[in-house]
Amino acid sequence: MRKTAGAEPSHPLFRQVYEFMLKRIERGEWKADDKLPSIRQLADELGVHRLTVFKAYRALSENGKLYVKDKSGYYVTPGSKLDRNIEEGAGVAGYRVRSPMSDIQRLPVTYQFSQALIDPGLLPNLFLSDYVKKVFDLYPKVMGTYSSVQGDEELRTTLSSHFHERYRLQLSARELLITSGAQQAINLIAGIMLGPMDAVLVERPTYSVALDIFRRAGARLVAVEISPQGYDLAAVEELMRRHKPRMFYINPTHHNPTGYTVPAKQRKLLVELAERYRCLIVEDDPFRDMYFLEEPPPPFFAYDTEGWVMYISSFSKYVAPGLRICAVACRYPFMERLIAAKSLADNGTPLLNQKIFLHYYTSPRLQQHLGKLRIALQVHKEIMEEELAATGWEWLTPQGGLSLWVKLPEAVPVDKLLARCLEHSISFVPGEICDPLGEMKSWLRLSYSFASEALLREGVRRLTAIAREIEAEEGS
Amino acid sequence: MRKTAGAEPSHPLFRQVYEFMLKRIERGEWKADDKLPSIRQLADELGVHRLTVFKAYRALSENGKLYVKDKSGYYVTPGSKLDRNIEEGAGVAGYRVRSPMSDIQRLPVTYQFSQALIDPGLLPNLFLSDYVKKVFDLYPKVMGTYSSVQGDEELRTTLSSHFHERYRLQLSARELLITSGAQQAINLIAGIMLGPMDAVLVERPTYSVALDIFRRAGARLVAVEISPQGYDLAAVEELMRRHKPRMFYINPTHHNPTGYTVPAKQRKLLVELAERYRCLIVEDDPFRDMYFLEEPPPPFFAYDTEGWVMYISSFSKYVAPGLRICAVACRYPFMERLIAAKSLADNGTPLLNQKIFLHYYTSPRLQQHLGKLRIALQVHKEIMEEELAATGWEWLTPQGGLSLWVKLPEAVPVDKLLARCLEHSISFVPGEICDPLGEMKSWLRLSYSFASEALLREGVRRLTAIAREIEAEEGS
């Protein structure tokens, strides 16, 4: 039997036929206790060999999706629900529910503590428009021109030397891809690296949207605890050995949401582990330049010698987030795959945005702006901490980044606090959605970067007042 | 047996385990004649029930990927190649080869006839920069602000009334999604509609990048011939009945590559078929306004009453292609799914680009520009036709669009012509890649819209001269 099977030319199609049938069931196109088309009919419809359909029917009945009624044929087992399938992360395209995070962020509120974005008022908006004018003088046809898929060469060349000077990264322009924001970068990387059941290591807690993207790819999330001291490398090695993860998604510098920074000595060691276990490290590094006192250690990418680190640098966040310019650094052949994915995804990031970013970025004004911005963010952070001081809540003062990671006492359930806050036009991110295990229910992320100083102070006051109410209610 | 199987809780995981193992084999992580881990080991690694792994092993050996050596365990069957898997369109993420089309288009050549884009010299570049200035005056913080995922409401509102006035489409702003170019739109739609083995109807010939996207999704391409009279509706109905396609991707107005326009009377009928067979029509309509004499019939979307047409309007192509602004119109729940996909893909198109487009678009200048552009394109077309007149090649003079679809005589093999042309810095699109069946080897697409008039005339002269050489060689 195996012999015949092996010889059968149409067999590599087995999985596709299997998936196709499974989807019809899950979409309810084939309903509970429906009689399925005959093997001959379906084979004709799909244009595949009958034996292939026969095997798919058998596999489906073996896993309980179908049952056979005496000799009359195959029937759909009741209760093959789609939702179940999604929960398992099989990520049936198009049926995915929206991330709660994105919904929370999208709510228009007066006191915005859920977005780890910078107050537009702190950005050099007026200066920027000059650079736009400059771009049109330099490239009068920029509006009529497409960028290359990989991104504007002038920009990539400039960035490669910037990464060299500022972050000690050795790379050439051809090892950089320009994407429309860090999220597109993560999505493209997931697209080329992850398939159903592939293991991906993620920090606990981490950026919730990344979790959504990996879940949609059908990957298995394997949690790695992050602490002020970084990771437990022995535990990481054990997980790499056991799960053979395709990648480890990290945000090791002013980590989102905790603000922790992984110490330099661990960086080299983790890169060595990644190389040994052929686990790609995907280093998301948006907050590197948002430090308060001293510069953080170099990126993991700087320690990489064998091409097992991918570096996502969306520092445009604090230059002009609206431009959505992000750069991904990686080695070949990974880069080749990324370019192919970008090519199908949108055929290249708009040239205008790249040129505006390039010219503003290379201006002396950027560094002045950066210095001011760091101070402003530190002031924001201190305002938030002042207003929280009386609460007795727990957090670690971050050395950079845009948020506080706060632990509430038992007496103040975060879900209840969030519900009440939203009624009062205050939003924040509940820790639960940052946790790949969906726990951390007593934590929350409060971003101090987006609200103006006045709204920040007032908003945190109101938030803590609401918390006191709840505490009183719970106590009584 | 089936009973136990049905009861087994871990069973819905079967497919994922199966796919995961298949991928390890295809990636060569498990090599030919390797002994596989024991069922217990793999079950532990994946954290699933042993029975699930056992069934996956059995399914894999049934389809010839594994073989059993006496009682010692499972081994990998030699020759489970990845490329084979890709040819079948299973589209293993990250291993997909780049589309030949995009490679041809990317080649920098002097005589550019492969890009169906408009000569940047024909675009109102100078005017545009004024509007950019205006945008910064109106929205000083536009660089610091993210757009909503669905797209700027002001733009969507404006476009919905535009679509109503110009194209007779009844829709509200919430039925529009702004994407970064038509290609992203097609990619997002494929993402929510198509999975492995799903049938998708495509015109023959059609836009080759769309074919790449559908293949990557693992879909089955089912070809529908398009002629100057449109489609054979009886044939289409038969295909819908037989293949139950999830969608029909069409470009019915100044069709790419042929230039044909599907007559009005067919539009209503096809929409009715789509509704009857629950087959989503995806109407890609970038060339609607690029007519020479008379306006084309209304879009299919205008005839849709039950929400079975999705409309992709990338008319920004002739306004400011560099902005990459495209609008997709569709009804709920499709729109809800599209927004979720867009949310994960890039979290929204840059606001700056949307605002620039909005303000230029609503200006009186656009209509002046459009009138001029139509005349310029017609002149370009006529230059190309003049230069081709002596060849005896066959084409139908298009009533609009950006390209000629030309049939060469046997004596001039298109592949040979392309190879020789590229040596002389002339490029065009070989018909073969526009054909879902990979035939049409004697056809080619010559775009007259991108090269300037001078380069156009000279380039076509050189191209025809090269063809005469080849004809002579072939004859001798």
Q: What digits encode the pLDDT tens for the residues A395-412?
A: 999 999 999 999 999 999
Query: Testing the interface with A: which of B63, B81, B99, B209 to mutate, by most A Cβ within 10 A?
Result: B63
Which one, of B467, B456, B181, lies nearest residue B316 by Cα?
Answer: B181
Which one, of B146, B2, B229, lies nearest residue A66 by Cα?
Answer: B2
* Amino acid at residue number A354: Q
C-alpha of B417 from chain center? 26
3-state secondary structure of B179: strand
Whether chain A has a CB inside 8 Å of the CB on B337: the answer is yes
Chain-chain contact of A347 with B102 (C-beta, under 8 angstroms): yes
**How many whole angstroms separate alpha carbon A108 and alpha carbon A106?**
6
> Which residues on adjacent β-strands are paired with residue A394?
A407
Which one, of B314, B322, B241, lies nearest residue B282 by Cα?
Answer: B314
* Amino acid at residue number A173: A
3-state secondary structure of B411: coil
Q: Which chain A residues are closer than 8 Å to B144 by Cβ?
A: 118-121, 123, 125, 320-322
Asked if B210 contacts B101 with a C-beta cutoff of 8 angstroms, the reply is: no
Residue of A96, A143, A187 with shortest CB distance to B323: A143
Please tell me the predicted confidence (pLDDT) of residue B98: 39
> In chain A, whose CA is at the least distance from the CA of B215?
A344
Chain-chain contact of B59 with A184 (C-beta, under 8 angstroms): no
Lowest mean pLDDT among A115-119, A327-331, A407-411, B41-45: B41-45
**How many whole angstroms separate alpha carbon A16 and alpha carbon A2?**
19
Sequence-ordered list of residues with C-beta below 8 angstroms from that of B265, at least 6 positions apart, any chain: none
Chain-chain contact of A44 with B244 (C-beta, under 8 angstroms): no
Whether chain A has a CB inside 8 Å of the CB on B120: the answer is yes
Which one, of A139, A140, A123, A159, lies nearest residue A323 by Cα?
Answer: A123
Chain-chain contact of A141 with B132 (C-beta, under 8 angstroms): no
Please tell me the predicted confidence (pLDDT) of residue A101: 52
> In chain B, whose CA is at the least distance from the CA of A56?
B59
> Which residues on adjacent β-strands are paired with residue A403?
A447
Residues A317-346 have a mean pLDDT of: 90
Whether chain A has a CB inside 8 Å of the CB on B7: the answer is yes
Chain-chain contact of A7 with B64 (C-beta, under 8 angstroms): yes
**Smallest CA–CA separation between B471 and chain A, in Å?**
35
ipTM of the complex: 0.78
Average pLDDT, chain A: 86
Whether chain B has a CB inside 8 Å of the CB on A108: the answer is no
* Interface contacts A/B by beta carbons within 8 Å: 330
Chain-chain contact of A129 with B133 (C-beta, under 8 angstroms): yes
Long-range contacts of B216-219 (CB under 8 A, 24+ apart): B216/A344, B216/B89, B216/B91, B216/B96, B216/B190, B217/A93, B217/B91, B217/B190, B217/B191, B218/A16, B218/B89, B218/B90, B218/B91, B218/B194, B219/B89, B219/B190, B219/B194, B219/B195, B219/B246
Chain-chain contact of B102 with A149 (C-beta, under 8 angstroms): yes
**How many whole angstroms separate alpha carbon A140 and alpha carbon A152?**
16
Residues A471-475 have a mean pLDDT of: 88
Asked if B114 contacts B448 with a C-beta cutoff of 8 angstroms, the reply is: no
Chain-chain contact of A12 with B220 (C-beta, under 8 angstroms): no
Residue of B148, B195, B352 with shortest CB distance to A353: B352
Selected residues 414-473 of chain A with any CB under 8 Å from a CB in chain B: none
Please tell me the predicted confidence (pLDDT) of residue A12: 53
> In chain A, whose CA is at the least distance from the CA of B216?
A344
Selected residues 13-32 of chain A with any CB under 8 Å from a CB in chain B: 13-20, 22-23, 29
**How many whole angstroms separate alpha carbon A437 and alpha carbon A400?**
26
Residues A75-92 have a mean pLDDT of: 45
> Which residues on adjacent β-strands are paired with residue B200?
B221, B247
3-state secondary structure of A93: coil
Ranges of residues in chain B with a pLDDT under 50 are: 1-10, 80-100
Which one, of B438, B458, B452, B466, lies nearest residue B202 by Cα?
Answer: B438
* Amino acid at residue number B14: F
What are the distances in angstroms from CA A405 to CA A287, A357, A382, A428, B476?
A: 15, 31, 14, 11, 80
**How many whole angstroms separate alpha carbon A209 and alpha carbon A225?**
18
What pairing do the DSSP bridges indicate for beta strands B426-427 and B220-225? unpaired
Whether chain B has a CB inside 8 Å of the CB on A92: the answer is yes
B57 is written with which tokens? 């092993």
**How many whole angstroms separate alpha carbon B89 and alpha carbon A16?**
9
Confidence of residue A377 (pLDDT cuts 50, 70, 90): very high
Chain-chain contact of B84 with A12 (C-beta, under 8 angstroms): yes
Residues A361-368 have a mean pLDDT of: 81
Helix, strand, coil % (nearest 5) of chain A?
50, 15, 35
Asked if B153 contacts B161 with a C-beta cutoff of 8 angstroms, the reply is: no
Torsion-angle region of A3 (φ positive above 0: left; ψ -120 to 50: alpha; else: beta): alpha
Is the model more confident about A206 or about A100? A206
**Smallest CA–CA separation between A160 and chain B, in Å?**
23
B473 is written with which tokens? 């060689």
**Smallest CA–CA separation between B401 and chain A, in Å?**
17
Chain-chain contact of A20 with B77 (C-beta, under 8 angstroms): no
A324 is written with which tokens? 């959505």
A355 is written with which tokens? 């040129």
Whether chain B has a CB inside 8 Å of the CB on A55: the answer is yes
Please tell me the predicted confidence (pLDDT) of residue A24: 78
pLDDT in tens, A154-185: 999 999 999 999 888 999 999 999 999 999 99
**Smallest CA–CA separation between A390 and chain B, in Å?**
33
pLDDT in tens, A265-320: 999 999 999 999 999 999 999 999 999 999 999 999 999 999 999 999 987 777 78
B35 is written with which tokens? 């002994």
Query: Testing the interface with A: which of B344, B354, B361, B363 to mutate, by most A Cβ within 10 A?
Result: B344
> In chain B, whose CA is at the least distance from the CA of A242?
B45
A394 is written with which tokens? 């727990």
pLDDT at A205 over 70: yes
What pairing do the DSSP bridges indicate for beta strands A73-76 and A309-313? unpaired
**How many whole angstroms separate alpha carbon B79 and alpha carbon A373?**
58
For A10-31, letters b (16+ CB in 10 Å) and e give: bbbbbbbbbbbbbbbbbeeebe
Tokens 């230029």 appear where?
Answer: B360
Residue of A192, A217, A350 with shortest CB distance to B322: A350
User: In B62-154, which ranges are E strands?
Assistant: 66-69, 73-76, 111-112
What pairing do the DSSP bridges indicate for beta strands B247-250 and B199-204? parallel
Query: Testing the interface with B: which of A3, A13, A15 to mutate, by most B Cβ within 10 A?
Result: A15
Sequence-ordered list of residues with C-beta below 8 angstroms from that of A28, at least 6 positions apart, any chain: A82
Chain-chain contact of A143 with B346 (C-beta, under 8 angstroms): no
Torsion-angle region of B280 (φ positive above 0: left; ψ -120 to 50: alpha; else: beta): beta
Residues A24-39 have a mean pLDDT of: 79
Asked if B75 contacts B35 with a C-beta cutoff of 8 angstroms, the reply is: yes
Q: Which helix (H) or strand (E) holds A85?
A: helix A82-87
Residues A9-31 have a mean pLDDT of: 70
Which one, of B179, B147, B152, lies nearest residue B341 by Cα?
Answer: B179
Q: Which chain B residues are closer than 8 Å to A139 by Cβ?
A: none
B23 is written with which tokens? 């991928």
Chain-chain contact of A144 with B92 (C-beta, under 8 angstroms): no
What are the distances in angstroms from CA B242 to CA A26, A29, B98, B237, B277?
A: 21, 15, 32, 8, 10
B470 is written with which tokens? 């080849």
> In chain A, whose CA is at the least distance from the CA of B19?
A196
**Smallest CA–CA separation between B443 and chain A, in Å?**
25
> Which residues on adjacent β-strands are paired with residue A430?
A444
pLDDT at A69 over 80: no
Sequence-ordered list of residues with C-beta below 8 angstroms from that of A264, at least 6 positions apart, any chain: A297, A298
Query: Testing the interface with B: which of A54, A57, A58, A63 to mutate, by most B Cβ within 10 A?
Result: A63
Selected residues 185-214 of chain A with any CB under 8 Å from a CB in chain B: 187, 191-198, 209, 212-213
> In chain A, whose CA is at the least distance from the CA of B58?
A59
Please tell me the predicted confidence (pLDDT) of residue B461: 97
**How many whole angstroms separate alpha carbon B399 and alpha carbon B382?**
12
Chain-chain contact of B68 with A2 (C-beta, under 8 angstroms): yes
Which one, of B69, B74, B72, B77, lies nearest residue B55 by Cα?
Answer: B74
A203 is written with which tokens? 């920090």
Torsion-angle region of B295 (φ positive above 0: left; ψ -120 to 50: alpha; else: beta): beta
Chain-chain contact of B180 with A220 (C-beta, under 8 angstroms): no
DSSP, res B232: -
Instruction: Provide DSSP, A44-75.
Output: HHHTS-HHHHHHHHHHHHHTTSEEEETTTEEE
Whether chain A has a CB inside 8 Å of the CB on B323: the answer is yes
Please tell me the predicted confidence (pLDDT) of residue A59: 77
3-state secondary structure of A220: strand
Which one, of A179, A159, A154, A284, lies nearest residue B180 by Cα?
Answer: A179
What pairing do the DSSP bridges indicate for beta strands A309-313 and A280-284? parallel
Q: Which helix (H) or strand (E) holds B220?
A: strand B220-225
Q: Which chain B residues are closer than 8 Å to A345 by Cβ?
A: 183-184, 187, 345
Selected residues 370-389 of chain B with any CB under 8 Å from a CB in chain A: none
